[in-house]
Amino acid sequence: MNYRFLLLKFFLSLSLGGKCLLGFAQNDSIQHLPVARAIQKEIESLNQTGSEAIARADGWLVGFNVLARALNLAREHQYREGEAQTLRLLAQLEANTGQRKEEALAYFMAELKLREELGNLAEVANTYMNLGNFFQNKLHDSEEAVGYFQQVLAIRQKNRQTLPEINEALLAIAQTYSAMDNYQQAIQYYQQVLKNLKSLQKSEVAAKLCLDIAQMYARAHNYAQAMQYAQEARTYHAYNANSKLEQEISLYIISLQNLQTAARMEDEQKSYRQWLGWVIGLVLALGVGMVWLKINRRK
């Protein structure tokens, strides 16, 4: 009887002990939650300080020290979203110096890898956008930049993100092609943005975009198309002779008219030179022919 009582007491003690252990484990996990939030807030605070330092010309040292601390903290506590954001800020900090481009690229690529692992496609697209701007503005590699901007466009179109976000990618591609003097490609992407803006009824923005397209055609010496888009710019906003935009459109149309006149005069001069060259060639040919006939007659 005593034996059974002792055995039952033993099992009860085990059961109670297990519950106590479980309770301690639950309390321990609960105690860690505020710590995680505190760390998250600290990393965000450090990133904010680093972000403010990026904007200052003399802020590199302060920004780097603060962001390096945030990065170590994020990695130590496996706060991957915070790590990705810190890597982005470090990349921007290094890119802004203009001297540490390799370091900036390394941070950008580390962020991209982490963003892809986290699976947030919107942030992956944003990182591609930053890489495209970095290659275009800092490394002056337009072809590489276009590749990254194309990645942004593909992700945003596939995930049906908002038109402003899609237009941002389209504009980046158009402006890069323009910098490459590839005006036909630039026009195609500008026209896609214009189409989207029409659906959004962004009249003033659409008017400015028409001027951009007009400039592309003018650079390609297609002044007729340039004039068409310059005139179309006026249809996208309420007419106001005193508005800055209306004055800009009017001045551009006048400059286009001057360019058309100069091009027409150049074409006329070119035609005249061609005609004069043909006449001179004919006269010379006749002169040579007459001399040849005289020589043969003497023989």
Q: Does any domain span residue 149?
A: no
- Res 35: pLDDT: 42
- Res 112: pLDDT: 96
pTM as predicted: 0.71
User: For the chain, how far is it from start to end, CA to CA, in angstroms?
Assistant: 157
- Res 47: pLDDT: 81
Residue 79 structural domain: 38-119
Residues 125-161: b if buried by 16+ CB within 10 A, e if exposed: bbbbbbbbbbbbebeeebebbbbbbbbbbebbeeeeb
Q: Can you list the residues of the chain whose pLDDT is less than 70?
A: 1-35, 57, 200-202, 237-242, 263-299
Q: Does any domain span residue 256?
A: no
How many domains, the chain? 1
| pLDDT tens-digit map of 146-177 | 999 999 999 998 887 787 889 999 999 999 99
Q: Does any domain span residue 130?
A: no
Residues in the chain: 299
